[in-house]
Amino acid sequence: MPHPKPSLPRRVARFFRWNRTSYMMMSAFLALIFLIGYVWWPLLEAYIQTYDPRVSFWQQFDWLLLGNFLVMSLLIMADANLRKDLPIAFIGLMGGLVIESWGTQTELWVYYTNERPPLWIIPAWPIASLSIDRLYRLLRSKLENVPLGVFRTLHWILLPAFLGYMLFFVWPTLDKSLTIMALILCAFLILTPTDPKAIVLTFVAGSGLGYFLELWGTTRWCWTYYTLQTPPFFAVLAHGMAAVAFWRVLELYQLFLPKIVARFKQRANPLSLPTELE
């Protein structure tokens, strides 16, 4: 007897590899958006008041914002795993706070609220980090047969080129300690590639998503770069470099967490032998 054909929602869920955690992630995402809107209601109210009833709704509707929202929603729900995703989100949150602090304190970019940085933008970073993780995994699965040497070559072309471009872009703020630290960190990450394939694909995934985020933010004057470009190419690539930095921190987390847990277990039970001696 033939099996009944799965319903359309089930087929969609199977195609995007949704699971219970996926719906939990989406619920948390929507709750976060609601919380931001509630806490920063004056900003949302000001945005709503820009609507002009004399102009067609379809002309005023922010299709790019909707597109970004839908794509990132689908991405964070794809093959979600709470144990793996929580560290990614936390690293993205902390890393985003550091990056936004650097950029706004040095005035490489400014927000329309003149906050340095605005706290309402920080939650966007963990969502973007999870989205980039999904894009990276997709790219890795599709490019599995590409020789590692190709990615080594691309690493030593793309990443040093970015560093040179970064130096040019941040030159007006070279007297700021935060900029010096950012340059040193990027140079360190580039000169110590632990996995060229992962680095290149993460850089590409981050830059790809970053383009649409920057396009929305700069054309809506939510934030403005000192060059007044909408967006500057550096900002697009910087999302890729930020994603690489977050990925390296995640690597360190995955490397040291088991050792830290084992050490705590050993302290809790001094009579037990260390794992490596058992």
HEC profile for the chain? CCCCCCCHHHHHHHHCCCCHHHHHHHHHHHHHHHHHHHHCHHHHHHHHCCCCCCCCHHHHCCHHHHHHHHHHHHHHHCCCCHHHHHHHHHHHHHHHHHHHHHHHHCCCEEECCCCCCCHHHCCHHHHHHHHHHHHHHHHHHHCCCCCHHHHHHHHHHHHHHHHHHHHHHCHHHCCCHHHHHHHHHHHHHHHCCCCHHHHHHHHHHHHHHHHHHHHHHHHCCCEEECCCCCCCHHHHHHHHHHHHHHHHHHHHHHHHHHHHHHHHHHHHCCCCCCHHHC
What is the reported pLDDT for 272? Answer: 57
40 or 184: whose pLDDT is higher?
A: 184
Task: State the residue for tokens 């820009």.
Answer: 50
Residues 248-261 have a mean pLDDT of: 88
148, 196 Cβ separation under 8 angstroms: yes
User: How confident is the model over 129-156, as pLDDT tens digits?
Assistant: 999 999 999 999 999 999 999 999 999 9
The per-residue pLDDT of the chain, averaged, comes to 90
Is residue 268 a part of any domain in this protein?
no
Residues 198-218 have a mean pLDDT of: 97
What is the reported pLDDT for 2? Answer: 58
Predicted confidence band at 10 (pLDDT cuts at 50, 70, 90)? confident
Number of domains in the chain: 1
Give strand pairing partners of 111.
Answer: 223
Residues 166-179 have a mean pLDDT of: 96
Whole-number Å distance between alpha carbons of 70 and 72: 6
Is residue 53 a part of any domain in this protein?
no
> Using omega within 30 degrees of 0 as the cis cutoff, is the peptide bond preceding 117 cis?
yes
Predicted confidence band at 14 (pLDDT cuts at 50, 70, 90)? confident
Identity of the highest mean pLDDT range in 25-29, 41-45, 53-57, 137-141: 137-141
- Domain assignment of residue 196, given as a range: 81-257
Whole-number Å distance between alpha carbons of 45 and 59: 20
Is residue 210 a part of any domain in this protein?
yes
pTM for this one?
A: 0.89
What is the reported pLDDT for 231? Answer: 96
Is residue 4 a part of any domain in this protein?
no
Is residue 236 a part of any domain in this protein?
yes
Whole-number Å distance between alpha carbons of 261 and 259: 5
What is the reported pLDDT for 270? Answer: 66
pLDDT at residue 169 tops 90: yes
Is residue 223 a part of any domain in this protein?
yes
Is residue 23 a part of any domain in this protein?
no
End-to-end, the C-alpha distance of the chain in Å comes to 54
Lowest-pLDDT choice from 105-109, 135-139, 269-273: 269-273
Is residue 218 a part of any domain in this protein?
yes
